[in-house]
Homo-oligomer: A and B are copies of this chain.
Amino acid sequence: MQAIRKAGVKRIYKHGFEAMKLRSLAEDVGIQAGSLYNYIRNKEEFLFLLLKEVLEELLEGLERELAGIDDPKEALIRFINFHLRWHTARKEEVFIGNMELRSLSKQHLQEIIRMRTEYESRLRRILERGNEAGEWSVADPQVISYSIIASLTGVCNWYSPRGRLSQDEIIAIYTDHVLGAVGAR
């Protein structure tokens, strides 16, 4: 099953979910297409479970990262750090999570959206707490949280482990950038 998951992520990342043929996926793991159905109920649900698992791990990871952190600036820095690390390390899964939502059923889409919203709201609350603490003065925490997340997530469009910049360098650049944007440099 883990092999199917892995092969699925690779294929979906490369060709898109609709273009991924179950026959090819099966071939990747060395079984017949029909045998896949011992592990998945259907193609759409397979995608859903993939995305759900990613989001669950993402949420848990963030939870752990922010546990016990009260200072808003420290929290923001950790958020940036965590988000970038995650979105470079598991770039493929993240990419799928942004691209293939349209292939989900209505029900499944709702659940995924719910989890994403929950994740995003963590950043919004950090920004709000910073406002309250006088750490910075962000005019519209909602919009700015979207802006920051979009900006950070964009990294997985061009990041490569063999690229010019290391993870740490990227994190440094973005951290400085975002802190400047909220006025907390």
Chain A residues packing against B (C-beta within 8 Å): 15-16, 18-19, 99, 102-103, 139-140, 143-144, 146-155, 157-158, 165, 170, 173-174, 176-178, 180-183, 185
Contact of A178 among B103, B154, B181 (CB under 8 A): B181
Contact of A154 among B146, B158, B180 (CB under 8 A): B146
Across the A-B interface, give the 7 residue pairs with the lowest CB-CB distance, nearest first: A150-B154, A181-B181, A151-B151, A18-B18, A147-B151, A180-B181, A16-B102
Interface centre among A18, A99, A151 (most CB of B within 10 A): A151
Give 6 pairs: A residue, B residue, CB < 8 Å, sorted on A.
Answer: A18-B18, A139-B173, A146-B157, A147-B152, A147-B177, A151-B151
Which residues of the partner chain B approach A180 to less than 8 Å between Cβ atoms?
180-183
Copies in the complex: 4
